[in-house]
Amino acid sequence: ITPSLVGMMIGTDSHTVNAGGLGMIAIGVGGADAVDVMAGMAWELKFPKLIGVKLTGKLSGWASAKDIILKVAGILTVKGGTGAIVEYFGEGADSLSCTGKGTICNMGAEIGATTSVFGYDRNMREYLLKQIVKKSLIWQIKSQSI
């Protein structure tokens, strides 16, 4: 796992949008666009619609983040998010784990969204810092065994 800085990420994998769960505008692109970006060229996107989804309350029982995106998909339908960035916010968003937020962002394709995102928060910061520490410890163990 390689943590990325908070900001914008362009990737060629359909799961690139998962990084929206860590507060990034993460958009999947084709190979030619990715090559342009790697060569330092500007990447352009038609100004997207913005859809705000206010989440209230907390998940309980067997409910999961996937249930949230399935509910949103039921409301917006398969084409409701086409050409849009969907931003999730509210106290309900704050109560979700980073992996739960990633799940919701990853499934944004089910509503046709260009990408989905949650605002950067303390939970994301702590999650990323733990990943950095974990990777550092793994590197130390590997280098000691050489």
Please give the average per-residue pLDDT across 115-137, as a whole number. 88
Structural domain range at position 33? 8-144
SS3 117: strand
Distances (CA, A) of 72 to 18, 110, 136: 17, 10, 38
Per-residue confidence band for 111, with pLDDT thresholds at 50, 70 and 90: very high
- Indicate the number of domains in the chain: 1
d(CA 58, CA 100): 12
CATH code, 140: 3.40.1060.10
Residue 15, domain member (yes or no): yes
**Total-model pTM:** 0.83
Residue 49, domain member (yes or no): yes
Query: Residue 145: what pLDDT?
Result: 63
Residue 121, domain member (yes or no): yes
Residue 3, domain member (yes or no): no
Residue 2, domain member (yes or no): no
Quickly count: other Cβ atoms within 10 Å of residue 90's Cβ. Answer: 14
Closest CA to 26 of 56, 42, 46, 6: 6
Q: Is the pLDDT reported for residue 144 higher than 90?
A: no
d(CA 74, CA 78): 8
Query: Residue 91: what pLDDT?
Result: 96
Residue 56, domain member (yes or no): yes
Residue 1, domain member (yes or no): no
Residue 84, domain member (yes or no): yes
